[in-house]
Chain A
Amino acid sequence: MSDPSHSILIVEDNPDDLFILKRAFRLAGTPNDLHHAEHGQQAIDYLAGASPYDDRSVHPLPSLVLLDLKLPVKHGLEVLAWIKAQPSCRGIVVVILTSSNEDKDVSRAYDLGANAFLVKPTSAEKLTEIIRAVDVFWLRHNKYRVPALIFDNVPDNIDLK
């Protein structure tokens, strides 16, 4: 059973893809809240809690961001770089879900700290399969850090004792 406290932000500009994606989550049986941003800047505003996303009870900080790359206003990689530069977003897992499987995009995404890179399949069955896998791994088994233990600065030396 997925941990329903994890909410998901889907950053997707294509309404068709959003429809199919939401349907895939439904078929996968994921009970988590799905939030949506339709371009890069909207995603940043959402995560920053800027208006109209300033009410965290309605727009909670997500545990997982499903991020498309080719997005209007701000490119997905810019959003990714922004997320990874925010101390407040350090607990967020970013999974790229895009139709590009260009090696360049994959490398850049990992360089910027993406947690996973998934390529959108064309078939709806395969997408459901992928979303099921996301659900199992990132929502059931993955251990997230406790927000209270997110520090403003990354310590220089991590005490391993």
Chain B
Amino acid sequence: MARFYKSIRLKAMELKETISTDALTASELSYRRLFEAAQDGILILDVEEGRVTDVNPFLCKLLGFSPAEMVGRTVGELSPFRDIVSNQAMLQRLQEHGYVRYEDLPLETRDGRKIAVEFVSNVYQAGDKNVIQCNIRDITERRKSEERLSNDATEVRLASRILKTHAEDLEQKVAVRTLELQSTINELEAFSYTVSHDLRAPLRAMQGYTHALLEDFADKWGSEERDLLARINKAAERLDILIQDLLTYSKVSKRRQAIVPVNLDHLVQDILTQYPTFQEAKLSFEVVRPLEPVLGNESGLTQVISNLLTNAVKFVSPDRLQKIKVWTEAKEFTVRLWIEDNGIGIDSENHLRIFKMFEQVDGKRFEGTGMGLAIAAKGVEGMQGSIGLESNLGSGTKLWIELLKPKKI
């Protein structure tokens, strides 16, 4: 009975051993598989002298040595590690810390290729004794791409520095220009202030004194003196109108107003009914309604259109009934407003002249300063529009302004 138990015990012990041996074998097997297949180099060293006891295929391939050429040597004796890893120092540090790590070792393989590796060694227990396992990872590609990245980063830094310099340069230039522009604008404002204030004061004096002479001393003058005084007065009046037009022109050039949809249909009606100039009996207006809306600003357009209409009614032979036709022509992105008269017309040679300051092609015959169309042209320009005409001498004039079309809502 006792023997039976003993034999069972023995069996059990055997079984246990077999299981544990099997288990051990299984774990060794899986370790071995990892060792063989690893995509990192692995060296196994003995803990006493640091001599290679095993080396995995990946490392052999990486360094270009066979296992036989490596086994039995210390790491320092392997040519790629020579002068780089001191065996003594490594062993000592392993003893102290159980761990040695070189982050970036530059190695040369057997065929002279330069590579970089990360080298980590650990001491661990394998069965009843300690061994050193060194994991050697090829980081050449990583280094290269890091280098590339860092080069790229340097380049980017350089480029951004250049860009920044340019931007600063540009900013400075813009600031300088803005300052120059502002000072020009200030000068212009000062100029028009001076014109409006100082140039007109002597005119007021001329008109005031001639008026006083004419009225207050009426009994002292014969008709000839009276006529001469009236001429002085008239000249002063004309100079005043010229100055006022010049001021309007400079104001229109300066004005930069928001561009919004404007209902031309209402605007033109308002101008035609409100301006006394357009109420005369010899005038006949035909407005083809509704006029298309345009992008502009109302006060600017009122000025432009009233100037164009004034122009249209002005240049006409005195004996004729004046017919003015107003209509709009919608284009893809713009709207053209036409104003046609049956006046004296303009020779094609003079078509460009009429939009310049103080130009009146037939200056002697008609009132005005020749500023009306120049002011209109400036105004239209400020609203991103254009102005032009079709005309021949003797057959009337078609003036047009073309402005942006508002977006359909």
B314 part of interface (Cβ distance < 8 Å): no
Q: Give A17 to B200 CA distance when docked, in angstroms.
A: 11
Render B189-201 as a binary contact track against A, CB cut-off 8 A, 1 for contact.
1001100110011
Please name 19 further chain A to chain B contacts, defined as beta carbons within 8 Å, in addition to the given A14-B205, A23-B208, A100-B196, sorted by A numbering.
A14-B201, A16-B201, A17-B204, A17-B205, A20-B208, A20-B209, A20-B212, A23-B216, A98-B197, A100-B193, A100-B197, A102-B192, A102-B193, A121-B204, A122-B207, A122-B236, A123-B211, A123-B237, A127-B204
A20 proximity list for chain B (CB < 8 A): 204-205, 208-209, 212
B94 part of interface (Cβ distance < 8 Å): no
* Residues A122 and B193 in contact in the complex (CB < 8 Å), given A20-B204, A99-B200, A99-B201: no
B36 part of interface (Cβ distance < 8 Å): no
Q: Give A64 to B211 CA distance when docked, in angstroms.
A: 27
* Residues A125 and B211 in contact in the complex (CB < 8 Å), given A99-B196, A101-B196, A102-B193: yes
A120 part of interface (Cβ distance < 8 Å): yes
Q: Give A16 to B205 CA distance when docked, in angstroms.
A: 5
A102 touches B196 (CB 8 A): yes
Interface set of B (CB-CB < 8 Å, partner A): 189, 192-193, 196-197, 200-205, 207-209, 211-212, 216, 236-237, 240
Which chain A residues numbered 50 to 89 have a C-beta less than 8 Å away from chain B?
70
Name which of B211, B212, B216, B237 has the most chain A CB atoms within 10 A of its CB: B211
Q: Give A99 to B207 CA distance when docked, in angstroms.
A: 15
Q: Give A70 to B240 CA distance when docked, in angstroms.
A: 19
Residue in B closest to A124 when the chains form the complex, CB atoms: B211
A122 touches B204 (CB 8 A): yes
Residue in A closest to B200 when the chains form the complex, CB atoms: A99
A151 part of interface (Cβ distance < 8 Å): no
B212 touches A23 (CB 8 A): yes
Q: Give A151 to B211 CA distance when docked, in angstroms.
A: 46
A16 touches B196 (CB 8 A): no
B205 proximity list for chain A (CB < 8 A): 14, 16-17, 20
A70 touches B197 (CB 8 A): yes
A127 proximity list for chain B (CB < 8 A): 204, 208
Closest chain B CB from A103 CB (angstroms)? 9
Closest chain B CB from A41 CB (angstroms)? 20
* Residues A19 and B208 in contact in the complex (CB < 8 Å), given A122-B203, A122-B240, A123-B237: yes
Residue in B closest to A101 when the chains form the complex, CB atoms: B196
Name which of B196, B212, B216 has the most chain A CB atoms within 10 A of its CB: B196
Closest chain B CB from A51 CB (angstroms)? 31
